[in-house]
Amino acid sequence: MSDKLLLELGRVARERQRAESRDERWESLTEGTLSEDERRELERLAAEDPSAAEAYEAFRPLDAAAREHIAARLERELAEVPALEALPPAPEAPPSVREAPPTRLAPPARGHRWRRLAPVLGAVAAAAAVLLLALPREAPPLPGYTLSVSSEQAVRAGAPEPEVPRLGPGSRLDVLLRPEQAVDGPVEVRAFLLRPGEARAWTPPLERSPDGAVRIQGPVDALLSLAPGEWTLAIAVGRPGTLPEAPDEVLARVEEGRAPEAGTWRLLTRKFLLVDRP
C-alpha cells in the first residue's frame, strides 16, 4: 500500500472524526472486546438502520479463512517491494564462509504469520472502514407523493370536504404529505404560500414519520397569518441540497407549470380559501 493512499486514508479518518462522534462500540467490535449484550445491540441497530448495517459489515472481525487469505496476499505484495535495491552491496564474505552450505529457513507457521501481520491488517481495516463510511452514497430515487389539505371544522360538521378547503377562525388546519411508498434515506421539506404577485416561505412545525410522511396540524389562527382570499400551498420535497429556497422561484414554477429538473425533487400544490369569519 502506497504512502499516498495511507495518507489519504488518515485524512479521511480525521475528517470523519471531526464531523461526527462515532460510537466507540464499532472499534470494540473490530477488536473483539464487545460484551454479548453490546454485540446484540449493534446487531439490532444494523437490522433497523441501513447505515448501521454497513458499519457492522465494515467493522465485523474477519474469520480465519479471510485472515489467512489477506495475510498471504500481503506477504506476496511485501515480498515484491524493492525496498533493499538502493542499499550498497554487502562486502564479499571470506572463502570459508562462502563455502559453507546455505541455511534453509522453514516458512513461518500459519498462526505466526497472521500474528506478525495482524497489527498492519488491523490499521488498514480500520482506515478502510472509516473511508467506506465517509464516502458519499447515491440516494435512491424519490417515490411519488400526495398532498392533502383539510379543515377539521368541516369534518366535524359532517359535510363533504370541498375541492378548495375553506379555513377560518376557530378551525384547524390538517396538511398531510404522504409518499406512495416508504422513503429510503434523508429528505428535506420546504413549504411556501403563494398567490398571484405574492410568495412567502412558510415554516410551520412539521411532524415526520419513519416512512417519509410529513404532517402539519394546528389552529388556523396560529399557523396562517395571511390576508383573506384564495392561496396556494406549495410543498417541495427532495434530497438534502436539492430544494429551491427563493419563494419567487417557486411561484414562477407554479404559474408556468414547470416540473423539477430530472425528478431530483418534487413540488406539490393545493389551493385553499382563507376567510375572516367562521
Confidence of residue 82 (pLDDT cuts 50, 70, 90): low
Q: Is the CB of residue 258 less than 8 Å from the CB of residue 249?
A: no
Mean of the pLDDT values across residues 150-163? 61
CA dist., res. 184 & res. 139, Å (int): 8
CA dist., res. 17 & res. 56, Å (int): 18
pLDDT given at position 203: 95
Confidence of residue 267 (pLDDT cuts 50, 70, 90): very high
Residues in a beta bridge with 273 = 166, 230
Classify each residue of 188-221 as buried b or exposed e, where b means 16 or more C-beta atoms within 10 Å of its C-beta.
ebbbbbbbeeebbebeeeeeeeeebbbebeeebe
Mean pLDDT of the chain: 74
pLDDT given at position 129: 53
Q: Is the CB of residue 175 less than 8 Å from the CB of residue 192?
A: no
Task: Indicate the pTM of the whole model.
Answer: 0.50
Q: Which domains does the chain have, with CATH numbers?
A: 3-90+109-134 (no CATH), 145-274 (2.60.40)
C-alpha cell read off for 172: 384547524
Minimal CA–CA distance to 170: which of 85, 254, 276?
A: 276
Q: Is the CB of residue 218 less than 8 Å from the CB of residue 232?
A: no
